Amino acid sequence: MRISLPRIGLGGAPLGNMFHPLSEAAADATLQAAWDAGFRYYDVSPHYGAGLAEQRFGRLLSGKPRDEFVLSTKVGRLLQPASAPENAKPFVDELPNKRVPDYSADGARRSIEDSLERLGVDRLDVVFIHDVSEDQWGPQWRDYFQQAMSGAAKGLTEMREQGLIRGWGLGVNLVEPCRMALEQADPDVFLLAGRYSLLDHREALETLFPRCLERGVGIVVGGPFNSGVLAGGDHFEYDRIPDEIRDRKARLDQVAQRFGVDLRAAAIHFCLAHPAVLSTIPGTANPARPAQYMGYYQARVPAEFWQALKHEGLLGEDVPVPA
């Protein structure tokens, strides 16, 4: 793989008031708990709370030695001061900033400069071009994608060659833009959210990951719990849980209970079993969770559990599982 990353990191979306408002004290406590639990990879974005998540991460990370952690953020939306928060779904109680789509090379550089200021650090390790996908922009998404390939992608490639960043890629919720980026650009890593999990993995497994392995392009799995459903939450893909997903989750729970496995631990280990996957980054706004997540990562999941999932048709025979 072109770059290496810690195997588990902290996803930043919940710290931008995703779904629910979060006090500054709770945000600080959550981030401190993550540091204390041993998390050393942090992923964030200007989109999360319109700058709020970056600001919160900055309060912790600006006081830590820069060589002791890995940091990624995203480009594609510039933030401009506004008279009131946008509160763009799924975020609430955001900072009063307006998002302006900009996937140009200059826009990417400006976005990075703004992020560095909010984060209080002097450099980034990885930069993801954020949300160049149909779920975000509808039919217009291909226009934004092409702007990104001719603009931000080239600018980030230059920054990598200059040693200003270690690598770049896309940060998206869909597989197709990643496949297209492999054909048109020279990425190092993709952050793919929600598309490689116990509940949803077939498209990535068949159409993206083999190409990534051929090119040495790594994967960061975002949303290993699919917005919370695999951790007992009430969201799937940032929305209500469909009945078929609820039924599949219940079947997974039954197998997990039979083998005494915590399904949250299984969700993390499943993501990391594929050789293309560098890291997974569960997110939280609860100070108790980081230590639990690290415990799931360190837990042992018996081979018999994975065999049972395949036997019951919950995983295909070709799906990589932990040895």
Q: How confident is the model over 16-73, as pLDDT tens digits? A: 999 999 999 999 999 999 999 999 999 999 999 999 999 999 999 999 999 999 999 9
Inside any domain, residue 1? no
pLDDT at position 265 is 97
DSSP lists the bridge partners of residue 98 as: 80
Residue among 170, 174, 200 nearest 186 (CA): 170
pLDDT at 207 over 80: yes
Name, in order, each residue with C-beta under 8 angstroms of 254's C-beta and a sequence gap of 6 or more.
Answer: none
Ramachandran quadrant class, 300 (left: phi over 0; alpha: psi -120 to 50; beta: rest):
beta
103 is catalytic: no
pLDDT averaged over every residue in the chain: 97
Q: Which of 41, 48, 144, 238 is catalytic?
A: 48
Using pLDDT thresholds of 50, 70 and 90, give the confidence band for residue 241: confident
Question: Mean pLDDT over residues 234-244, rounded?
Answer: 84
Mean pLDDT for 117-128 is: 99
At residue 288, the pLDDT reads: 98
Provide DSSP, 149-217: HHTHHHHHHHHHHTTS-SEEEEEES-SHHHHHHHHHS--SEEEEESSSSSSS-HHIIIIIHHHHHHHT-
Do the bridges between strand 41-43 and strand 277-281 make them parallel or antiparallel, or are there none, so unpaired? Answer: unpaired
Global pTM exceeds 0.85: yes
pLDDT over 80 at 238, yes or no: no
Amino acid (1-letter code) at residue 236: F
Residue 102 near residue 111, CB atoms below 8 Å: yes
Residue 4: inside a domain: no
Q: Would 85 be classed as within a structural domain?
A: yes
Q: Flag whether 70 is in a domain.
A: yes
Q: Is residue 322 in a domain? A: no
pLDDT given at position 205 = 98
Helix (H, G, I), strand (E, B) or coil at 316: coil
- Domain of 185, CATH number, reads 3.20.20.100
In a domain, 72, yes or no: yes
Residue 323 lies in a domain: no
Q: Over 90: is that where the pLDDT of 121 sits?
A: yes
Number of structural domains the chain divides into: 1
Strand partners, 171: 130, 191
pLDDT surpassing 90 at residue 229: no
Query: What range defines the domain where residue 195 resides?
Result: 10-311
pLDDT band at 187 (very low <50, low <70, confident <90, very high): very high
Residue 302, amino acid:
P
The CA radius of gyration of the chain, in Å to the nearest whole number, is 19
How does pLDDT run across 141-173, given as a tens digit for each residue? 999 999 999 999 999 999 999 999 999 999 999
**Confidence band, pLDDT 50/70/90 cuts, at residue 102:** very high
Instruction: Give the pLDDT of residue 233.
Output: 82
What is the average pLDDT across 296-318? Answer: 97
Residue 227 scores a pLDDT above 80: no
